[in-house]
A and B are shown apart, each in its own frame.
Chain A
């Protein structure tokens, strides 16, 4: 049997319930991350919020870092943003190395 995968891209929508259930997250915690700007919901109140697919990965990374490295909310969000920036820069470096012929 072949299982079809759903891509968690920007067009995909996750509800508050789905996010909280998947991550074992309380609504209050989710609101905290939203207030700090880690993830941006569509909709005006927590009752009607929905999130784009990539929010799940961001929140998952944040929760792991916070729990496992014992860092506070602001520090966690800074770490997630810096990690994403590093990932982006790393992809750029790879592309540039290729263009300079170093990858060969």
Chain B
């Protein structure tokens, strides 16, 4: 088990007072809150922060923690002092069947303070029939899988309490059928795959929040799909019948003569599915071929002579 430096986690010194601890917590909580933060590892940092605050905000726990001394280094292999249980701090491990929660603290915390401190009072030791808690996780799927639907094998850490009430997590492998037409940020529910209940209560549910992985050329915005379509100048000027990719496969699209860069064409109902499927938007882009050969140069020179065209006339130049 590794030692945790709760002061360092909160950016505090050992002599910080209660106000400073609260201020530091508020500030870092806003920074790392998983719903707000885009920092990498925000979830992990936030959890660590919650644990540090749990100890440092409570004078009794803080005193006990300080008593370990300041010579420990973060991550150092830690064993509690032999006199830990007899110090009179009263952190003996509780054997009550604490509610299993996904937000369990580190082994370091559990060893020092047991889990009596954050067990849900409503679920402990009453012997009542209690439904297991719902669990939440994220799942990354490709845009193609979102469009077609997919069977995904996922691993989730399910928090569980054993017969003696000790908490732990168990990696659980699930094969999940994800229906088609899912969009970014949407939740899906797997009934009965959350934490086990107590006293014969049913298991909670597992909720997965979908994160769409970036696609090489499609971009999803809600149910709509955007595609940048490069055209040659002559395809744009003369019009063309082109093959264009969609999530559902290739389609033929007529590009009208006189098209310009930035114009949008809509393929109705070619976006992500659902009751009202989204559309695919094709945004035209015009790419000039390089003038690498004498023949190519000649073609451009002929255009410059024959096409009286100044794209900057609106700027008065």
Contacts and interface: CB of A to CB of B under 8 A. Distances in A.
Whether chains A and B associate is: yes
Interface of A: 1-11, 21-24, 53-54, 56-57, 60-61, 64-65, 68-70, 79, 83, 87, 91-92, 94-95, 98-99, 101, 103
Interface stretch (B86-94, B110-118, B170-178): B170-178
22 contacts: A2-B176, A3-B174, A3-B176, A4-B176, A5-B178, A5-B189, A8-B188, A8-B189, A9-B274, A22-B134, A23-B134, A53-B187, A57-B185, A57-B187, A57-B209, A64-B33, A83-B36, A87-B185, A94-B221, A98-B226, A99-B228, A101-B285
Interface in B109-161: 131, 133-134, 136, 151
Residue among B30, B36, B179 with the highest chain A CB neighbour number at 10 A: B36
A3 B50 CA distance: 33
Contacts of A21: 131
Given A5-B188, A8-B186, A61-B35, A68 B50 contact: yes
Given A22-B134, A95-B226, A5 B35 contact: no
A4 B35 CA distance: 27
A93 to B, nearest CB: 10
B102 interface: no
A6 B193 contact: no
Given A9-B274, A22-B204, 19 more contacts: A2-B176, A3-B190, A3-B193, A4-B177, A5-B179, A6-B188, A7-B179, A7-B186, A7-B187, A8-B207, A21-B131, A53-B187, A57-B185, A60-B136, A65-B35, A69-B29, A69-B33, A91-B184, A99-B226
B-side interface size class: 35 or more
A94 B221 CA distance: 8
Interface of B: 26, 29-30, 33-36, 46, 50, 131, 133-134, 136, 151, 174-179, 181-182, 184-191, 193, 204-205, 207-209, 214, 217, 219-222, 226, 228, 274-275, 283, 285
- Summarize A's interface: helix, strand, loop or mixed: helix
A87 B220 CA distance: 13
A23 B178 CA distance: 23
A84 to B, nearest CB: 9
A37 B246 CA distance: 38
Contacts of A56: 187, 207
Contacts of A57: 185, 187, 209
A69 B26 contact: yes
Complex A-B, nearest 3 residue pairs according to Cβ-Cβ distance, in ascending order: A5-B188, A98-B219, A8-B187
A7 B179 CA distance: 7
A79 B188 CA distance: 23
B56 to A, nearest CB: 16
B226 A22 contact: no
Contacts of B174: 3
A64 B35 contact: yes
Contacts of A79: 36
A91 B214 CA distance: 11
A95 B176 CA distance: 29
Contact of B219 (A8, A10, A69, A95): A95
Given A6-B191, A56-B187, A91 B221 contact: yes
A73 B55 CA distance: 27
B178 A68 contact: no
B205 A2 contact: no
Contacts of B226: 95, 98-99
